[in-house]
């Protein structure tokens, strides 16, 4: 009799076949030693489209919504029918008495196998291979300890419910807003809240009003203390004048020694974030690379949300610390002390432990790896050394000085023991990283409480507050992980958008749909993305609600939430959405008219943050409720023989001013140069001229 092993992809199937001794190549599978090893090619079976339920759904109509299937239908992907046929025939072979699910050990891997199994109508018993490494020994151990397929019924229910929920929200939401606005508008359970976070950040940036503030500095010899962020200019001048020439005294000197704990090991999200930070790799590229390393047996299973190892891995961890030091030359001059107990926590590991390198790094020729593979393998390896390293010890000194009743401060910092930071600094030096450098020691001169400072020099410096920074894949992944909650405690269970395995593909989908675009490392919303979020109701773009759904799916995996209850809630949500949005005005439909005509956005409205487009006679805000516009011709500008060009409008919107050459003076009959400055009262848009030293009116 034979056992049928079904992997998720051909490369994994081949690796399993080699370990099992199934060397005989057949059409779509390997055979030998009592095993048949075949594979899926990703998702072979998926949910049917609406028109499979009723032909009336072929045409998108508002009155046909909502679409809620009573009996769900599934179908084989048209381009994968050949492989499905092979799997079905193998399942029903008379000599096959047991099937082994060897797809990826996670939610989606479980769904890929189960849908094929049920679509084929198979009733034979199946076992589950659950491994976290593709090393030969790990595979052998996994096949020696196969688990009952039914142990993962809850995981399957969660995967199935996730698939149905995405279908219900995506199909109904997309059809609803597409028919309302006469433009294809894509809505998704995770996609839309993710886009909403990026659009909101973009609005915060475009609407940001910088504020001027002052820092006051008091200096005597090598000691300099500061009073920072004084927003009242008169108050800053008062303090500066008050302290000039006055004696100051040291109010307090506080010295403390602190420990800086090592970082945790990588889960997939933190690996993707740091890969983006160090190398500029997208989340999807990092996932592709680490998946390749996993299949080459060089790292453990990548799609994990844990940053810890289990107790039974203690010896493995210790061996890997030494292996990494030898393989990458970290052990030649760096500290030898380490403690693997820091990364051991059974309670923090569910399906898979953190990502670490395997013993294969000592056996394989790493120079044959691609540059990306070398980068990610080195990143994972140095993190193991950092996470198990000794705490960094620093001495911090805080001095408070009083002068004329005003308090000034200075802080000093000195590293006493580099600890784990030595590995990180060595890693950065190898990369010649442009990352923000480790803060240098700032040593404060020896002073004591009560010391008097004579003849201190007082000065003031002018600064401006900075707007929020655009999202990068690093910071967006972090926001997705916590559903935008910046105060999230990293040790509590996360209620995020999507899963570690799906966040990368969600970002890619938003980019390919042209709702987001990449500018260097930054992710910027397009006009289409901004307009879409602007018209969608809060319930559709709520990160909090989507995170609650994701948490319910996690609870379903644990058997604490029933799929019927979860899907009933989704059904009600969809019904409510359709009831709430019956129609929109013809005026509102014009919101997307500029997109349909291919108009180019020239800037952002300074009043409301909406896109600004060029019209026949003006440059106008696309938000119909906002009356902002810049007229191309005005009587005042015409008197100087000028009108606002597109290039000038771009600068006015971006900088609030534009340099103009060749303005005509009716008084002198001569030309002159000046800056044209935009003055928006909130009701009217006016201009004024500003002359610099080298731009004097003729």
Q: Does residue 436 register a pLDDT over 80?
A: no
What value does the mean pLDDT take over residues 243-252? Answer: 94
**pLDDT band at residue 681 under the 50/70/90 scheme:** confident
Same domain, 428 and 514: no
Q: What is the domain-level CATH number for residue 57? A: 3.40.50.140
Same domain, 384 and 410: no
In this predicted model, which residue has the larger pLDDT, 619 or 696? 619
Per cent of the chain over pLDDT 70 is 93
Query: Would residue 157 count as lying in a domain?
Result: no
What value does the mean pLDDT take over residues 6-34? Answer: 96
CA 82, distance to chain mean position in Å, is 37
Query: Would residue 675 count as lying in a domain?
Result: yes
Query: Would residue 330 count as lying in a domain?
Result: yes
Same domain, 275 and 369: yes
Same domain, 497 and 557: yes
Q: What is the pLDDT of residues 583-624, one digit of tens each?
A: 888 777 777 765 555 567 888 888 766 678 888 788 988 765
pLDDT at 46: 96
Q: Does residue 335 register a pLDDT over 70?
A: no
Same domain, 537 and 583: yes
Q: Does residue 50 register a pLDDT over 80?
A: yes
Model pTM score: 0.79
pLDDT at 637: 86
pLDDT at 492: 44
Domain boundary pick from 413, 445, 464 = 464
Query: Would residue 156 count as lying in a domain?
Result: no
Q: What is the pLDDT of residues 105-127, one digit of tens each?
A: 999 999 999 999 999 999 999 99
pLDDT at 674: 87
**Catalytic position from the list 181, 278, 294, 301:** 301
Q: Rounded distance, CA 451 to CA 617, Å?
A: 70
What value does the mean pLDDT take over residues 280-292? Answer: 96
In this structure, are residues 78 and 99 in contact, taking their beta carbons and an 8 Å threshold?
A: no
Could you give the number of structural domains in the chain? 5
Domain boundary pick from 560, 587, 614 = 587
- Which of the residue ranges 388-402, 441-455, 544-558 has the most confident prediction, judged by mean pLDDT? 388-402
Residue 301 annotated to the active site: yes
Domain boundary pick from 464, 485, 512 = 464
Q: Does residue 288 register a pLDDT over 50?
A: yes
pLDDT at 541: 92
In this structure, are residues 195 and 529 in contact, taking their beta carbons and an 8 Å threshold?
A: yes
Q: What is the domain-level CATH number for residue 402? A: 2.70.20.10
3-state secondary structure of 584: coil
First CA to last CA distance, the chain: 100
**pLDDT band at residue 488 under the 50/70/90 scheme:** very low
What DSSP designation does 188 have? -
Same domain, 24 and 170: no
Label residues 332-369 b or e (16+ Cβ within 10 Å = b): eebbeebebebbbbeebbebbbbbbbbbbbeeeebeeb
Q: What is the domain-level CATH number for residue 377? A: 1.10.290.10
Query: Would residue 154 count as lying in a domain?
Result: no
In this predicted model, which residue has the larger pLDDT, 186 or 3? 3
**pLDDT band at residue 680 under the 50/70/90 scheme:** confident
Q: What is the pLDDT of residues 117-158, one digit of tens each?
A: 999 999 999 999 999 999 999 999 999 999 999 999 999 999
Q: Rounded distance, CA 507 to CA 498, Å?
A: 11
Q: Does residue 31 register a pLDDT over 80?
A: yes
What value does the mean pLDDT take over residues 493-508? Answer: 84
Query: Would residue 619 count as lying in a domain?
Result: yes
Q: Please provide the average confidence, as pLDDT, over all residues in the chain.
A: 90
Q: What is the domain-level CATH number for residue 565? A: 1.10.460.10
Same domain, 316 and 335: yes
In this predicted model, which residue has the larger pLDDT, 442 or 478? 478
Query: Would residue 151 count as lying in a domain?
Result: no
Same domain, 115 and 32: yes
Domain that includes residue 138, residue range: 2-145
Q: Does residue 698 register a pLDDT over 60?
A: no
What value does the mean pLDDT take over residues 226-247? Answer: 95
pLDDT at 594: 58
Q: Rounded distance, CA 552 to CA 158, Å?
A: 9
Q: Rounded distance, CA 166 to CA 75, Å?
A: 17
**pLDDT band at residue 265 under the 50/70/90 scheme:** very high
Q: Rounded distance, CA 626 to CA 609, Å?
A: 10
Same domain, 408 and 373: no
Same domain, 476 and 574: yes
Query: Would residue 432 count as lying in a domain?
Result: yes
Same domain, 383 and 397: no
The closest alpha carbon to 8, from 131, 155, 166, belongs to 131
| Alpha-carbon separation of residue 312 from 106, 476, 538 (angstroms) | 21, 35, 47
Same domain, 253 and 397: yes
Residue 518: CB atoms within 10 A of its CB come to: 13
Q: What is the pLDDT of residues 349-404, one digit of tens each?
A: 988 999 999 999 999 999 999 999 999 999 999 999 999 999 999 999 999 999 99
Q: Does residue 245 register a pLDDT over 70?
A: yes
| Alpha-carbon separation of residue 600 from 23, 181, 534, 617 (angstroms) | 59, 20, 18, 16
| Alpha-carbon separation of residue 135 from 9, 292, 298, 585 (angstroms) | 17, 13, 8, 61
């Amino acid at each position: 009799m034979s056992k049928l092993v079904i992997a998720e992809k051909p490369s994994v199937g081949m690796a399993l076949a080699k370990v099992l001794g199934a060397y005989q190549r057949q059409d779509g599978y390997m055979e030998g030693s009592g095993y048949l090893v075949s594979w899926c090619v990703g998702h072979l079976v998926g949910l049917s489209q609406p028109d499979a339920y009723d032909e009336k759904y072929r045409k998108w109509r508002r009155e046909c919504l909502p679409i809620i299937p009573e009996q769900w239908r599934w179908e084989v992907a048209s381009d994968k029918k050949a492989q499905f046929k092979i799997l079905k025939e193998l399942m029903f072979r008379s000599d096959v008495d047991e099937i082994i699910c060897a797809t990826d050990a996670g939610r989606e891997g479980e769904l890929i196998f189960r849908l094929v199994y049920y679509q084929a109508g198979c009733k034979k018993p199946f076992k589950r291979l659950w491994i976290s490494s593709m090393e030969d020994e790990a595979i052998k151990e996994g096949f020696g300890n196969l688990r009952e397929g039914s142990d993962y019924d809850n995981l399957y229910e969660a995967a199935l419910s996730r698939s149905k929920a995405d279908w219900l929200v995506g199909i109904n939401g997309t059809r609803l807003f597409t028919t309302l606005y006469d433009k294809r508008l894509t809505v998704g359970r995770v996609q839309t809240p993710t886009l909403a976070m990026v659009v909101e950040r973009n609005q915060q940036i475009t609407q940001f009003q910088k504020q001027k503030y002052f820092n006051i500095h008091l200096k005597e010899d090598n000691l300099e203390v500061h009073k920072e962020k004084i927003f009242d200019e008169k108050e800053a001048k008062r303090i500066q004048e008050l302290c000039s020439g006055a004696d100051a005294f040291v109010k307090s000197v506080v010295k403390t020694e602190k420990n800086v704990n090592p970082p945790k090991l990588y889960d997939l999200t933190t690996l993707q974030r740091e890969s983006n930070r160090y190398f500029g790799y997208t989340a999807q590229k990092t996932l592709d690379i680490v998946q390749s390393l996993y299949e080459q047996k060089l790292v453990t299973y990548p799609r994990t949300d844990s940053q810890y190892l289990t107790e039974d891995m203690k010896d493995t961890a210790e061996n890997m610390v030494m292996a990494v030091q030898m393989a990458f030359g970290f052990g030649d001059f760096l500290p030898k002390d380490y403690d693997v107990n820091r990364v051991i926590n059974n309670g923090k590991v569910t399906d898979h432990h953190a990502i670490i390198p395997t013993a294969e790094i000592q056996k394989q020729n790493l120079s044959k790896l691609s540059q990306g593979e070398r980068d990610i393998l080195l990143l994972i390896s140095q993190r193991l050394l950092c996470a198990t390293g000794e705490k960094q010890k620093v001495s911090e000194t805080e001095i408070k000085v009083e002068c004329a009743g005003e308090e000034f401060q200075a802080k000093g910092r000195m590293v006493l023991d580099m600890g784990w930071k030595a590995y990180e600094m060595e890693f950065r030096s190898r990369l010649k990283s442009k990352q923000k450098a480790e803060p240098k020691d700032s040593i404060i001169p020896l002073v004591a409480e009560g010391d008097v400072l004579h003849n201190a020099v007082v000065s003031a410096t002018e600064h401006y507050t900075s707007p929020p920074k655009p999202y990068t894949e690093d910071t967006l992944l972090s926001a997705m992980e916590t559903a935008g909650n910046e105060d999230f405690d990293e040790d509590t269970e996360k209620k995020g958008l999507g899963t570690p395995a799906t966040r990368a593909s969600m970002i890619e989908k938003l980019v390919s749909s042209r709702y987001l675009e990449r500018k260097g490392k930054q992710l910027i919303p397009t006009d289409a993305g901004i307009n879409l979020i602007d018209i969608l109701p809060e319930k559709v773009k709520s990160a909090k609600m989507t995170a609650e759904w994701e948490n319910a799916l996690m609870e379903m995996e644990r058997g604490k939430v029933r799929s019927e209850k979860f899907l009933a809630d989704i059904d009600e949500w969809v019904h409510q959405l359709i009831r709430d949005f019956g129609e929109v005005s013809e005026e509102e439909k014009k919101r997307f008219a500029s997109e349909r005509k291919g108009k180019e956005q020239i800037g952002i409205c300074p009043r409301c943050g909406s896109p600004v487009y060029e019209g026949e006679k003006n440059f106008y805000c696309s938000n119909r409720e906002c009356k902002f516009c810049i007229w191309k011709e005005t009587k005042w500008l015409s008197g100087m023989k000028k009108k606002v060009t597109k290039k000038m409008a771009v600068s006015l919107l971006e900088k609030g001013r534009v340099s103009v050459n060749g303005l005509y003076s009716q008084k002198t009959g001569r030309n002159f140069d000046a800056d044209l400055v935009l003055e928006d009262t909130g009701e009217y848009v006016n201009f004024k001229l500003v002359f610099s030293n080298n731009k004097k009116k003729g």
